[in-house]
Protein backbone atom coordinates (compact mmCIF):
# COMPACT_ATOMS: atom_id res chain seq x y z
CA UNK A 1 0.00 0.00 0.00
CA UNK A 2 1.39 3.40 -0.99
CA UNK A 3 1.95 5.83 1.86
CA UNK A 4 -0.37 8.53 0.44
CA UNK A 5 -3.04 6.41 -1.24
CA UNK A 6 -6.11 8.63 -1.79
CA UNK A 7 -4.76 11.43 0.41
CA UNK A 8 -5.29 14.97 -0.83
CA UNK A 9 -1.94 16.78 -1.07
CA UNK A 10 -1.56 20.47 -1.93
CA UNK A 11 1.80 21.60 -3.32
CA UNK A 12 2.41 25.30 -3.98
CA UNK A 13 5.00 26.34 -6.56
CA UNK A 14 4.47 23.04 -8.37
CA UNK A 15 5.08 24.21 -11.96
CA UNK A 16 8.79 23.39 -11.96
CA UNK A 17 11.90 22.71 -9.90
CA UNK A 18 11.56 21.41 -6.37
CA UNK A 19 7.76 21.78 -6.29
CA UNK A 20 7.35 19.64 -9.41
CA UNK A 21 9.59 16.92 -7.94
CA UNK A 22 7.57 17.00 -4.70
CA UNK A 23 4.22 16.82 -6.52
CA UNK A 24 5.44 13.88 -8.64
CA UNK A 25 6.75 12.03 -5.57
CA UNK A 26 3.34 12.27 -3.87
CA UNK A 27 1.64 11.29 -7.13
CA UNK A 28 3.79 8.14 -7.40
CA UNK A 29 2.57 7.15 -3.93
CA UNK A 30 -1.12 7.38 -4.78
CA UNK A 31 -1.98 10.93 -3.65
CA UNK A 32 -4.53 13.17 -5.34
CA UNK A 33 -2.32 16.19 -5.88
CA UNK A 34 -3.43 19.83 -6.20
CA UNK A 35 -0.63 21.57 -8.12
CA UNK A 36 -0.52 25.33 -7.59
CA UNK A 37 1.43 27.93 -9.59
CA UNK A 38 0.85 31.62 -10.31
CA UNK A 39 -1.08 30.66 -13.45
CA UNK A 40 -3.06 27.51 -14.09
CA UNK A 41 -1.26 26.98 -17.43
CA UNK A 42 2.09 26.87 -15.59
CA UNK A 43 0.87 24.23 -13.13
CA UNK A 44 -0.72 22.16 -15.92
CA UNK A 45 2.71 21.05 -17.16
CA UNK A 46 3.19 19.22 -13.84
CA UNK A 47 -0.40 18.07 -13.29
CA UNK A 48 -0.45 16.36 -16.70
CA UNK A 49 2.46 14.14 -15.58
CA UNK A 50 0.58 12.87 -12.49
CA UNK A 51 -2.50 10.63 -12.57
CA UNK A 52 -5.51 12.39 -11.04
CA UNK A 53 -3.68 15.66 -10.33
CA UNK A 54 -5.42 19.01 -10.85
CA UNK A 55 -3.73 22.32 -11.72
CA UNK A 56 -4.69 25.61 -10.07
CA UNK A 57 -3.62 29.19 -10.67
CA UNK A 58 -3.20 31.08 -7.40
CA UNK A 59 -1.04 33.92 -6.12
CA UNK A 60 -0.11 32.63 -2.67
CA UNK A 61 0.64 36.17 -1.49
CA UNK A 62 -2.94 37.27 -2.18
CA UNK A 63 -5.51 36.54 0.54
CA UNK A 64 -8.61 36.27 -1.65
CA UNK A 65 -6.77 34.23 -4.30
CA UNK A 66 -5.71 31.71 -1.62
CA UNK A 67 -9.18 31.57 -0.05
CA UNK A 68 -10.90 30.98 -3.38
CA UNK A 69 -8.38 28.42 -4.63
CA UNK A 70 -8.31 26.40 -1.41
CA UNK A 71 -12.13 26.32 -1.28
CA UNK A 72 -12.12 25.08 -4.88
CA UNK A 73 -9.54 22.37 -4.06
CA UNK A 74 -11.68 21.10 -1.17
CA UNK A 75 -14.72 21.01 -3.40
CA UNK A 76 -12.82 19.21 -6.23
CA UNK A 77 -10.70 16.77 -4.20
CA UNK A 78 -11.86 16.82 -0.57
CA UNK A 79 -10.23 17.82 2.73
CA UNK A 80 -6.43 17.98 2.40
CA UNK A 81 -4.25 15.76 4.56
CA UNK A 82 -0.99 17.38 3.44
CA UNK A 83 0.06 20.96 2.59
CA UNK A 84 3.52 21.70 1.19
CA UNK A 85 4.35 25.42 1.22
CA UNK A 86 7.01 25.47 -1.48
CA UNK A 87 6.28 28.57 -3.62
CA UNK A 88 9.15 31.02 -3.32
CA UNK A 89 11.03 33.79 -5.10
CA UNK A 90 14.36 35.60 -4.83
CA UNK A 91 15.14 39.28 -5.49
CA UNK A 92 18.87 39.22 -4.70
CA UNK A 93 20.89 42.37 -4.30
CA UNK A 94 23.13 44.00 -1.71
CA UNK A 95 21.36 45.84 1.12
CA UNK A 96 22.54 49.26 -0.13
CA UNK A 97 20.70 48.65 -3.40
CA UNK A 98 17.71 46.73 -2.04
CA UNK A 99 14.44 48.54 -2.70
CA UNK A 100 11.43 48.37 -0.44
CA UNK A 101 9.71 46.49 -3.26
CA UNK A 102 12.52 43.88 -3.38
CA UNK A 103 12.05 43.41 0.36
CA UNK A 104 8.23 43.34 0.39
CA UNK A 105 7.77 41.06 -2.62
CA UNK A 106 9.99 38.36 -1.15
CA UNK A 107 8.29 38.50 2.27
CA UNK A 108 4.87 38.49 0.57
CA UNK A 109 5.42 35.30 -1.44
CA UNK A 110 7.79 33.35 0.83
CA UNK A 111 6.39 34.18 4.27
CA UNK A 112 2.91 35.68 3.92
CA UNK A 113 2.17 32.99 1.32
CA UNK A 114 3.06 30.21 3.78
CA UNK A 115 0.92 31.90 6.46
CA UNK A 116 -2.11 32.33 4.18
CA UNK A 117 -1.99 28.75 2.81
CA UNK A 118 -1.46 27.24 6.27
CA UNK A 119 -4.39 29.21 7.64
CA UNK A 120 -6.55 28.13 4.70
CA UNK A 121 -6.18 24.40 5.53
CA UNK A 122 -6.15 24.61 9.32
CA UNK A 123 -9.90 24.54 10.02
CA UNK A 124 -10.47 21.38 7.96
CA UNK A 125 -7.37 19.65 9.31
CA UNK A 126 -8.39 20.49 12.91
CA UNK A 127 -11.88 19.11 12.30
CA UNK A 128 -10.39 15.92 10.81
CA UNK A 129 -7.86 15.72 13.66
CA UNK A 130 -5.15 14.93 11.14
CA UNK A 131 -2.75 17.01 9.09
CA UNK A 132 0.81 17.34 7.86
CA UNK A 133 2.30 20.69 6.86
CA UNK A 134 5.79 20.93 5.38
CA UNK A 135 7.30 24.36 4.74
CA UNK A 136 10.22 24.82 2.38
CA UNK A 137 12.78 27.08 4.05
CA UNK A 138 16.46 27.27 3.02
CA UNK A 139 19.93 26.92 4.55
CA UNK A 140 20.09 30.68 3.87
CA UNK A 141 17.40 31.07 6.58
CA UNK A 142 19.72 29.23 8.99
CA UNK A 143 23.05 30.82 8.13
CA UNK A 144 22.37 33.98 6.04
CA UNK A 145 23.93 34.95 2.71
CA UNK A 146 25.33 38.24 1.42
CA UNK A 147 23.00 39.77 -1.14
CA UNK A 148 20.00 37.87 0.21
CA UNK A 149 18.86 39.85 3.29
CA UNK A 150 15.25 39.79 2.10
CA UNK A 151 15.32 36.08 1.23
CA UNK A 152 17.23 35.02 4.37
CA UNK A 153 14.77 36.93 6.59
CA UNK A 154 11.79 35.32 4.84
CA UNK A 155 13.25 31.81 5.16
CA UNK A 156 14.18 32.31 8.84
CA UNK A 157 10.61 33.55 9.25
CA UNK A 158 9.33 30.30 7.75
CA UNK A 159 11.22 28.38 10.46
CA UNK A 160 9.61 30.57 13.17
CA UNK A 161 6.18 30.06 11.62
CA UNK A 162 6.82 26.30 11.57
CA UNK A 163 7.68 26.14 15.28
CA UNK A 164 4.74 28.35 16.31
CA UNK A 165 2.21 26.33 14.31
CA UNK A 166 3.69 23.07 15.60
CA UNK A 167 2.92 24.24 19.14
CA UNK A 168 -0.52 25.55 18.20
CA UNK A 169 -1.75 22.53 16.23
CA UNK A 170 -0.01 19.53 17.79
CA UNK A 171 -2.91 18.69 20.09
CA UNK A 172 -5.08 18.16 16.97
CA UNK A 173 -2.63 15.62 15.50
CA UNK A 174 -1.34 18.13 12.97
CA UNK A 175 2.43 18.23 12.55
CA UNK A 176 4.28 21.20 11.06
CA UNK A 177 7.88 20.83 9.90
CA UNK A 178 10.30 22.60 7.60
CA UNK A 179 12.85 21.41 5.06
CA UNK A 180 15.92 23.57 4.44
CA UNK A 181 17.45 22.78 1.04
CA UNK A 182 21.02 23.70 0.14
CA UNK A 183 21.90 24.34 -3.54
CA UNK A 184 19.44 22.48 -5.73
CA UNK A 185 19.57 22.42 -9.55
CA UNK A 186 16.47 24.42 -10.60
CA UNK A 187 15.61 27.63 -12.49
CA UNK A 188 16.27 29.51 -9.24
CA UNK A 189 19.94 28.47 -9.25
CA UNK A 190 20.46 28.25 -13.03
CA UNK A 191 22.16 31.65 -13.11
CA UNK A 192 24.91 30.60 -10.68
CA UNK A 193 28.35 31.18 -12.17
CA UNK A 194 30.51 28.13 -12.92
CA UNK A 195 32.85 29.38 -10.19
CA UNK A 196 30.05 29.48 -7.59
CA UNK A 197 28.85 26.03 -8.66
CA UNK A 198 32.37 24.59 -8.33
CA UNK A 199 32.79 26.17 -4.90
CA UNK A 200 29.49 24.67 -3.64
CA UNK A 201 30.52 21.24 -4.94
CA UNK A 202 33.95 21.57 -3.30
CA UNK A 203 32.41 22.59 0.06
CA UNK A 204 29.66 19.96 0.27
CA UNK A 205 30.92 16.62 1.64
CA UNK A 206 28.53 14.82 -0.71
CA UNK A 207 30.29 16.56 -3.61
CA UNK A 208 27.43 17.58 -5.87
CA UNK A 209 24.48 19.98 -6.13
CA UNK A 210 21.14 18.58 -4.96
CA UNK A 211 18.16 17.52 -7.06
CA UNK A 212 14.46 18.14 -6.57
CA UNK A 213 14.13 14.43 -5.77
CA UNK A 214 16.60 14.80 -2.87
CA UNK A 215 14.22 17.34 -1.34
CA UNK A 216 11.07 15.39 -2.22
CA UNK A 217 12.31 12.35 -0.24
CA UNK A 218 12.58 14.47 2.93
CA UNK A 219 9.21 16.13 2.35
CA UNK A 220 7.31 12.87 1.80
CA UNK A 221 8.91 11.40 4.94
CA UNK A 222 7.80 14.38 7.08
CA UNK A 223 4.33 14.23 5.48
CA UNK A 224 3.89 10.50 6.15
CA UNK A 225 1.84 8.97 8.95
CA UNK A 226 5.07 7.40 10.25
CA UNK A 227 6.50 10.86 11.04
CA UNK A 228 3.63 11.64 13.43
CA UNK A 229 5.88 12.22 16.45
CA UNK A 230 8.12 14.74 14.64
CA UNK A 231 6.96 18.35 14.75
CA UNK A 232 8.46 21.85 14.76
CA UNK A 233 11.69 20.55 13.21
CA UNK A 234 13.78 21.76 10.31
CA UNK A 235 15.36 19.02 8.22
CA UNK A 236 18.41 20.35 6.38
CA UNK A 237 19.00 18.64 3.02
CA UNK A 238 22.19 20.16 1.64
CA UNK A 239 24.76 17.40 1.12
CA UNK A 240 26.46 18.64 4.30
CA UNK A 241 27.13 22.12 2.89
CA UNK A 242 26.57 24.08 6.12
CA UNK A 243 28.48 21.69 8.38
P1 LIG B 1 11.65 27.86 -9.00
O2 LIG B 1 12.18 26.84 -9.94
O3 LIG B 1 11.98 29.29 -9.23
O4 LIG B 1 10.06 27.68 -8.88
C5 LIG B 1 9.31 28.55 -8.05
C6 LIG B 1 7.89 28.08 -8.00
O7 LIG B 1 7.14 28.96 -7.15
C8 LIG B 1 7.20 28.09 -9.36
O9 LIG B 1 6.31 26.99 -9.43
C10 LIG B 1 6.42 29.39 -9.32
O11 LIG B 1 5.26 29.38 -10.15
C12 LIG B 1 6.00 29.42 -7.86
N13 LIG B 1 5.62 30.76 -7.41
C14 LIG B 1 6.37 31.88 -7.37
N15 LIG B 1 5.65 32.91 -6.92
C16 LIG B 1 4.41 32.44 -6.64
C17 LIG B 1 3.20 33.03 -6.17
N18 LIG B 1 3.13 34.33 -5.84
N19 LIG B 1 2.11 32.24 -6.03
C20 LIG B 1 2.16 30.93 -6.36
N21 LIG B 1 3.27 30.31 -6.82
C22 LIG B 1 4.38 31.07 -6.97
O23 LIG B 1 12.12 27.56 -7.49
P24 LIG B 1 12.79 26.26 -6.83
O25 LIG B 1 14.26 26.38 -6.95
O26 LIG B 1 12.10 25.03 -7.27
O27 LIG B 1 12.45 26.56 -5.30
C28 LIG B 1 11.29 26.05 -4.65
C29 LIG B 1 11.36 26.43 -3.17
O30 LIG B 1 12.58 25.93 -2.60
C31 LIG B 1 11.36 27.94 -2.92
O32 LIG B 1 10.64 28.23 -1.75
C33 LIG B 1 12.82 28.24 -2.71
O34 LIG B 1 13.02 29.40 -1.95
C35 LIG B 1 13.28 26.99 -1.99
N36 LIG B 1 14.73 26.73 -2.08
C37 LIG B 1 15.32 26.52 -3.28
C38 LIG B 1 16.69 26.26 -3.33
C39 LIG B 1 17.42 25.99 -4.61
O40 LIG B 1 18.65 25.82 -4.56
N41 LIG B 1 16.76 25.92 -5.75
C42 LIG B 1 17.43 26.26 -2.14
C43 LIG B 1 16.78 26.49 -0.94
C44 LIG B 1 15.42 26.72 -0.91
P45 LIG B 1 5.25 30.01 -11.66
O46 LIG B 1 5.84 28.96 -12.56
O47 LIG B 1 3.82 30.28 -11.94
O48 LIG B 1 6.10 31.26 -11.59
**For range 201-206, the mean pLDDT:** 96
The pLDDT tens digits for 41-95 are 999 999 999 999 999 999 999 999 999 999 999 999 999 999 999 999 999 999 9
- Does the active-site annotation cover 151? yes
Instruction: Decide if pLDDT at 189 tops 80.
Output: yes
Instruction: Decide if pLDDT at 131 tops 80.
Output: yes
CA-closest residue to ligand 1 atom 10 = 13
Q: Is the CB of 17 under 6 A from ligand 1?
A: yes
Q: How far is the CA of 125 from the centre of ligand 1 (A)?
A: 25
What pTM value is reported for the model? 0.98
pLDDT value for 191: 85
Average pLDDT over the chain reads 97
Q: How far is the CA of 188 from the centre of ligand 1 (A)?
A: 7
Q: Is the CB of 12 under 6 A from ligand 1?
A: yes
**For range 219-236, the mean pLDDT:** 98
pLDDT value for 192: 84
Q: How far is the CA of 203 from the centre of ligand 1 (A)?
A: 24
DSSP letter string, the chain:
--TTTT-EEEEES-SSHHHHHHHHHHHHTT-EEEEEESSHHHHHHHHTTSTT-EEEE--TT-HHHHHHHHHHHHHHH-S-SEEEE---------GGG--HHHHHHHHIIIIIHHHHHHHHHHHHHHHHT-EEEEEE--THHHH--TT-HHHHHHHHHHHHHHHHHHHHHGGGTEEEEEEEE-SB-SGGGTT--HHHHHHHHHHSTT-S-B-HHHHHHHHHHHHSGGGTT--S-EEEESTTTT-
Catalytic hit among 56, 130, 151, 229: 151
Instruction: Decide if pLDDT at 138 tops 80.
Output: yes
**60 Cα nearest atom in ligand 1:** 19
Q: Is the CB of 42 under 6 A from ligand 1?
A: yes
Amino acid sequence: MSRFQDQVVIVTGASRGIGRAIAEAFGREGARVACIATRRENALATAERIAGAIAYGCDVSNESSVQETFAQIESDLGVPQVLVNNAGITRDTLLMRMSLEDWDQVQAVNLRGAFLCSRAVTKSMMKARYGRMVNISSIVGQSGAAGQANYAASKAGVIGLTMALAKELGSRNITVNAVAPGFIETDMTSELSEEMRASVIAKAPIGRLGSGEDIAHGVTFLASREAGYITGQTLTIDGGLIL
